[in-house]
């Protein structure tokens, strides 16, 4: 299967499941009033973060968005550190100063997530520029949504990434909605990937619900970037099951639309595939699921038991 061994396939599956169950559990805790502020959740889009990050080395980097939990888990931030950050605890990956929208961990190659739509893309270029000038063969992936591609940052950044031939891959998670606005209201194109042609780089449209397709196309784009051949824009068609953020009941979408996408659920699809390939059976699936649940509970308990931040750290880290 695309050079992927059984172990790697199961790892992809487990990671997708981790993201899904983590997000579901976090949402419960949020409803119980245990998590401050708001949440932008990743259920439905798991195949993208997992399929792309599976291609990357530990010293490759990613930039993320206001919806970063999936990217964080896929790039390898320990769930304890993510959960603690969501709870606003000092043991969080950003010492309780980032929160849900700014999850990041430099040590595993994830910059603090950038919650201004589109703004991470020019910064990803800079990371790539450093790799290029130092000839390190590292690559950076910039994740962003469909909404970002209507922002000037996207256009300036794709043009600059193209002219400098930077080792960067632009991954657009097209979930068809910018907050409550459907993409058809704000874009004449059917495919965002067409915008790549304006900058002279390849643009590819893929099924963002199929982790193996994501993995395959990301492999090509990352190799291309690593070999000094420049950026690629990958558009992954996907769907977010939740509203834009926790307070959003998503009344602007039809039930049928949601059901359609849920019928193509990335985890269900991949599980079926693994069953067909005799890599997974009910017993093994149960085992993986309970393992993931244990890890999540451990992370949640860690977060709950962690101390609140001492007040004086609010005044630290402004300047280096």
Burial class (CB in 10 A: 0-12, 13-18, 19+), 76: middle
- Distance CA(267)–CA(262), nearest Å, equals 10
Burial 109-131 (b: 16+ CB within 10 A, else e): bbbbbbbebbbbbbbbbebbbeb
133 forms part of the interface with another protein (CB under 8 A): yes
Which of 53, 72, 128, 141 is the binder for another protein (CB under 8 A)? 128
39 forms part of the interface with another protein (CB under 8 A): no
Please give the residues from 161 up to 190 whose contact with another protein meets the rule CB under 8 A. 163-164
Cβ 96 to another protein shortest distance, Å: 7
Query: Pairing between strand 232-237 and 203-207?
Result: parallel
Which of 122, 145, 147, 230 is the binder for another protein (CB under 8 A)? 122
137 forms part of the interface with another protein (CB under 8 A): no
- DSSP, collapsed to helix, strand or coil, labels residue 80 as helix
112 forms part of the interface with another protein (CB under 8 A): yes
Residue 305 vs 316, nearer CB to another protein: 316
Q: What's the N-to-C CA distance of the chain in angstroms? A: 47
Edge to edge, the sheet with strand 203-207 lists: 61-63, 140-145, 168-174, 232-237, 203-207
58 forms part of the interface with another protein (CB under 8 A): no
Number of residues that bind another protein (CB under 8 A): 43
Containing H/E element for 236? strand 232-237
269 forms part of the interface with another protein (CB under 8 A): no
- Distance CA(106)–CA(72), nearest Å, equals 11
Burial class (CB in 10 A: 0-12, 13-18, 19+), 244: buried
Which of 100, 125, 174, 306 is the binder for another protein (CB under 8 A)? 125
Cβ 39 to another protein shortest distance, Å: 17
145 forms part of the interface with another protein (CB under 8 A): no
Residue 201 vs 209, nearer CB to another protein: 201
96 forms part of the interface with another protein (CB under 8 A): yes
95 forms part of the interface with another protein (CB under 8 A): yes
Other C-beta atoms within 10 Å of 134: how many? 9
127 forms part of the interface with another protein (CB under 8 A): yes
Footprint on this chain of another protein (rule: CB under 8 A): 92-98, 102, 104-107, 111-112, 114, 116, 119, 121-131, 133, 140, 152-153, 156-157, 159-160, 163-164, 316-320
């Amino acid at each position: 299967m695309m050079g992927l061994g059984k172990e790697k396939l199961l790892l992809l599956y487990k990671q997708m499941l981790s993201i899904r169950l983590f997000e579901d559990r976090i949402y419960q805790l949020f409803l119980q009033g245990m998590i401050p502020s708001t949440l932008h959740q990743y259920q439905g889009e798991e195949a993208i973060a997992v399929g792309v990050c599976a291609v990357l080395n530990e010293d490759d980097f990613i930039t993320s968005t206001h919806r970063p939990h999936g990217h964080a888990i896929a790039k390898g931030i320990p769930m304890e550190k993510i959960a603690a950050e969501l709870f606003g605890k000092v043991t969080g990956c950003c010492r309780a100063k980032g929160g849900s929208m700014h999850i990041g961990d430099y040590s595993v190659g994830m910059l603090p997530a950038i919650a201004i739509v589109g703004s991470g893309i020019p910064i990803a270029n800079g990371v790539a520029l450093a790799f290029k000038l130092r000839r390190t063969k590292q690559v950076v992936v910039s994740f962003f949504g469909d909404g970002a591609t209507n922002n000037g940052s996207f256009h300036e950044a794709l043009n600059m990434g193209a002219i400098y031939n930077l080792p960067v891959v632009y991954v657009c998670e097209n979930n068809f909605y910018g907050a409550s606005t459907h993409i058809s209201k704000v874009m004449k194109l059917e495919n965002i990937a067409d915008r790549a042609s304006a900058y002279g780089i390849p643009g590819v449209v893929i099924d963002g619900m199929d982790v193996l397709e994501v993995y395959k196309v990301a492999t090509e784009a990352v190799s291309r970037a690593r070999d000094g051949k420049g950026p690629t824009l990958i558009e992954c068609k996907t769907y977010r099951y939740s509203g834009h953020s926790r307070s959003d009941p998503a009344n602007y979408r039809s039930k049928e639309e949601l059901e359609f996408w849920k019928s193509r659920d990335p985890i269900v699809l991949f599980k079926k595939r693994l069953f067909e390939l005799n890599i997974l059976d009910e017993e093994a699936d149960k085992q993986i699921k309970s393992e993931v649940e244990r890890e999540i509970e451990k992370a949640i308990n860690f977060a709950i038991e962690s101390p609140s931040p001492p007040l004086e750290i609010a005044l630290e880290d402004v300047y280096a």
